[in-house]
A and B are shown apart, each in its own frame.
Chain A
Amino acid sequence: MASGILVFLEQRNGAIRKASLEALSEARRQANGKEVTALIVGENVKALSAVANKCKPTKILVVDNAQFANYSTEGYAAALTTAIKTVDPQYVFAANTSMAKDLMPRVAARHDAACVTDVSEIHVAGDRLEVVHPMYSGKTRGIFELKSNVSFITTRPNIFAVQEAENGHHAEIVDLPVTADKIRAKVTAIHASEGQKIELSEASVIVAGGRGIKGPENWNILENLCGTLGAALGASRAVVDAGWIDHQHQVGQTGKVVSPQLYIACGISGAIQHLAGMSSSKVIVAINKDAEAPIFKHATYGIVGDVFEVVPKLTEELKKHSG
């Protein structure tokens, strides 16, 4: 009888994603006394079990060999499938990242199983979990029941809190031997994107710009504010389509859906498809010249004013406070 939760922890370059620790922490909260097993896949990743241990899983499975140095759909699917066979979990959790969105549906199909991606809430309903998945870019949400023997869930980053214990917990660490016999699509290179240091979907603070910044030569005003706040830089569709900035920065429908603690919209009017991508942010600050801009209806705090005057002053004021 399937029981407990298996959590796939994503690691790249020897670091476990924070969003994965969020998924693991949420699994612990939802496990209701059942076992929580963490899975780490890669090459030379054994040391990462110490990081996973802080979130207090019952067990940590480590798949460690050269075949898994880079992510591949089929290799990692083989590892996850072996882990599922070993643990027989009722649920498999992962953070909703590009890796999990590539991997989890594939493995779910292999098990003829229910899968819900980008989950923003999880509730216990009897002996099952019920999950909330935002739809239409957050304009509505679906409440889903997952009824397969094993079911798959990916959690939206920045929603679920990381819960770590400093010491006193010792998860059982198990080496899981896996050989992927068939990797037909291979990663042959990874190129870091220019500019963005902090991934938008995982950033706790986002500063975003729209038409109001007047041209691509003015991003530095927002970048200075980003630097002071440790924020990621976002953008509206209008400025991406105008070619002022790369698509990886786009927030909204056909871009990224984000849920940071703080979202500062600079010179963004607030088109419905932009609002859909950021309205689940905890606090929204709007800075816009036009007092009638729709963004003000959604903002926690609004400043009606010129981005070119307000943003540099805001950067200075924040520097005073952090210094």
Chain B
Amino acid sequence: MKIAVCIKAVPDTETKINLAGDKSNIDFTGVRFLTSPYDEFAIEEALRLKEKNGGETMVFSMGGAECTDVLRDALARGVDNATHLSDPSFTNLDPLSTAKVLAAAIKDGGYDVILLGQQGVGGDNSQVPAMLAELLDLPQVTVIMKLEITGNTFKAEREIEGAHETVEGTLPVVLSAQKGLNEPRYPGIKGVMAARRKEIAVKNAEALGLAGTIGTDKAPLKLKEMALPPERPQGRVLEGDVDTQVKTLVELLKKEAQVI
């Protein structure tokens, strides 16, 4: 079984977000990059599939130098090989352009299963997995909580509002991982040492057959600018004993805020 995992390097979720001077992005000064949390579930699932079915695993990440650490981390967890999709034209890409780059890297690889996180933390788009499936002309199951693969068939459970859907079909398939799919392992010291010696393949736009086709200037979706959300007005802490506080709160919710 050949398994591909696509991961994204994102700012640590505890990061205090400031904007860059020209508002074109957040200020990355001093920001620590980590694997997007949902991608960790995708990596773990790939490792488990390989342990059970044999085969090989390949991890892809698109972006700048920040990708190296997350690719090494995936290798340290046990992924076999890593490819860094790196090109000046791959900077600040929208979801569809990102999916095009990933599709170019994946399409001739003969992969049976392609795994991604259900959302890249930060951009918060939840678009790339479905777009990638469309570009590769493969079935998709997004936001999965459970996966069984038997022979060349898959059975996945996806999370929907107030329920789980069971979705079945035949490989190959694109899957996006939700929290709860598994419990990701941490890389051991042996894995970390081995990952250091591994080579990370690098592919640019030309190698992917995408020269001159990808870039923020070529996408129909434009980020005009970023803005911080409006500050919430100063709230108030209610006075008095518990009975008074509770009475005051209900009054305020009814009369002032008018939400009940």
Which residue of the partner chain B has the closest CB to A240? B179
Q: Which residues from A are CB-within-8-Å of B142? A: 98, 101-102
In the complex, the answer to whether B19 meets A115 with C-beta atoms within 8 Å is no
Which residue of the partner chain B has the closest CB to A130? B224
Using A184-B170, A188-B168 as known contacts, say yes or no to A201 and B161 having CB atoms under 8 A apart: yes
List the count of A-B residue pairs having beta carbons below 8 Å apart: 269
In the complex, the answer to whether B165 meets A190 with C-beta atoms within 8 Å is yes
With A102-B140, A136-B15, A185-B141 given, name 17 new contacts (CB 8 A). Answer: A101-B142, A110-B134, A112-B220, A117-B126, A134-B229, A135-B124, A141-B227, A141-B229, A143-B225, A187-B165, A188-B168, A192-B162, A248-B159, A254-B38, A262-B259, A284-B235, A318-B250
Give the interface centre of A113, A141, A250, A309 by most chain B CB atoms within 10 Å: A141
In the complex, the answer to whether B222 meets A147 with C-beta atoms within 8 Å is yes
Cα distance A3–B193 in the bound complex, in angstroms: 58
Using A301-B236, A309-B242, A321-B254 as known contacts, say yes or no to A314 and B131 having CB atoms under 8 A apart: no
Interface mask (A267-310 → B, CB under 8 Å = 1, otherwise 0): 00000110000011011110000010000111111111100011
Is A139 located at the chain interface by the 8 A CB criterion?
A: yes
Is A37 located at the chain interface by the 8 A CB criterion?
A: no
Which residue of the partner chain B has the closest CB to A230? B260
Using A141-B227, A283-B257 as known contacts, say yes or no to A114 and B219 having CB atoms under 8 A apart: yes
Is B63 located at the chain interface by the 8 A CB criterion?
A: no
Looking at the assembled complex, report how far the CB atom of A317 sits from the nearest CB atom of chain B, in whole angstroms: 5
Interface residue ranges, B against A (CB under 8 Å): 11, 13-17, 19, 26, 37-38, 94-96, 99, 121-131, 133-135, 138-143, 155, 158-170, 173, 178-180, 219-229, 232-233, 235-238, 242-243, 245-247, 249-250, 252-254, 257, 259-260
Cα distance A190–B126 in the bound complex, in angstroms: 22
In the complex, the answer to whether B243 meets A302 with C-beta atoms within 8 Å is no
Looking at the assembled complex, report how far the CB atom of B5 sits from the nearest CB atom of chain A, in whole angstroms: 18
In the complex, the answer to whether A117 meets B127 with C-beta atoms within 8 Å is yes
Interface residue ranges, A against B (CB under 8 Å): 70-71, 73-74, 77, 97-99, 101-110, 112-118, 130, 133-148, 151, 184-193, 196-197, 199, 201-202, 205, 229, 247-248, 250, 253-255, 257, 261-262, 272-273, 279-280, 282-285, 291, 296-305, 309-310, 313-314, 317-318, 321
Cα distance A287–B159 in the bound complex, in angstroms: 31
Q: Which residues from A are CB-within-8-Å of B168? A: 185-186, 188
In the complex, the answer to whether B229 meets A73 with C-beta atoms within 8 Å is no
Among the listed B224, B233, B247, B260, which residue makes an inter-chain contact with A143, where contact means beta carbons less than 8 Å apart?
A: B224
In the complex, the answer to whether B254 meets A188 with C-beta atoms within 8 Å is no
Q: Which residues from A are CB-within-8-Å of B155? A: 188
In the complex, the answer to whether B249 meets A303 with C-beta atoms within 8 Å is yes
Cα distance A181–B165 in the bound complex, in angstroms: 22
Using A130-B224, A310-B246 as known contacts, say yes or no to A283 and B237 having CB atoms under 8 A apart: no
In the complex, the answer to whether B130 meets A109 with C-beta atoms within 8 Å is yes
Which residue of the partner chain B has the closest CB to A150? B220
Looking at the assembled complex, report how far the CB atom of A105 sits from the nearest CB atom of chain B, in whole angstroms: 4
In the complex, the answer to whether B13 meets A254 with C-beta atoms within 8 Å is yes
Cα distance A134–B232 in the bound complex, in angstroms: 16
Q: Which residues from A are CB-within-8-Å of B225? A: 142-143
Q: Which residues from A are CB-within-8-Å of B180? A: 247
Cα distance A115–B165 in the bound complex, in angstroms: 25
In the complex, the answer to whether A137 meets B124 with C-beta atoms within 8 Å is yes
A-B contacts, 23 of them at CB < 8 A, read A71-B165, A73-B139, A98-B161, A99-B160, A102-B130, A105-B126, A109-B130, A114-B96, A114-B220, A118-B126, A133-B125, A136-B122, A140-B26, A143-B227, A186-B169, A189-B166, A192-B162, A193-B162, A205-B259, A283-B259, A296-B237, A297-B235, A314-B246
In the complex, the answer to whether B253 meets A283 with C-beta atoms within 8 Å is yes
Looking at the assembled complex, report how far the CB atom of B137 sits from the nearest CB atom of chain A, in whole angstroms: 9
Cα distance A143–B24 in the bound complex, in angstroms: 10
Q: Which residues from B are CB-within-8-Å of A110? A: 134
Which residue of the partner chain B has the closest CB to A255? B179
Give the interface centre of B134, B166, B173 by most chain A CB atoms within 10 Å: B134
Q: Which 5 A-B pairs have the closest CB atoms?
A: A148-B220, A114-B221, A185-B139, A105-B127, A184-B139
Among the listed A98, A135, A185, A202, which residue makes an inter-chain contact with B160, where contact means beta carbons less than 8 Å apart?
A: A98
Q: Which residues from B are CB-within-8-Å of A301? A: 235-238, 249, 252-253, 257
In the complex, the answer to whether A105 meets B95 with C-beta atoms within 8 Å is yes
Q: Which residues from B are CB-within-8-Å of A305? A: 242, 245
Looking at the assembled complex, report how far the CB atom of A146 sits from the nearest CB atom of chain B, in whole angstroms: 6
Which residue of the partner chain A has the closest CB to B252? A301
Cα distance A310–B245 in the bound complex, in angstroms: 9
In the complex, the answer to whether B169 meets A185 with C-beta atoms within 8 Å is yes
Which residue of the partner chain B has the closest CB to A299? B235
Q: Which residues from A are CB-within-8-Å of B254? A: 321
Looking at the assembled complex, report how far the CB atom of B257 sits from the nearest CB atom of chain A, in whole angstroms: 5
Using A142-B226, A318-B260, A321-B254 as known contacts, say yes or no to A106 and B14 having CB atoms under 8 A apart: no
Q: Which residues from B are CB-within-8-Å of A101? A: 126-127, 130, 142-143
In the complex, the answer to whether B167 meets A187 with C-beta atoms within 8 Å is yes
Looking at the assembled complex, report how far the CB atom of A264 sits from the nearest CB atom of chain B, in whole angstroms: 9
Q: Which residues from A are CB-within-8-Å of B167? A: 185-188
Using A98-B161, A187-B167 as known contacts, say yes or no to A144 and B221 having CB atoms under 8 A apart: yes
Cα distance A169–B126 in the bound complex, in angstroms: 36
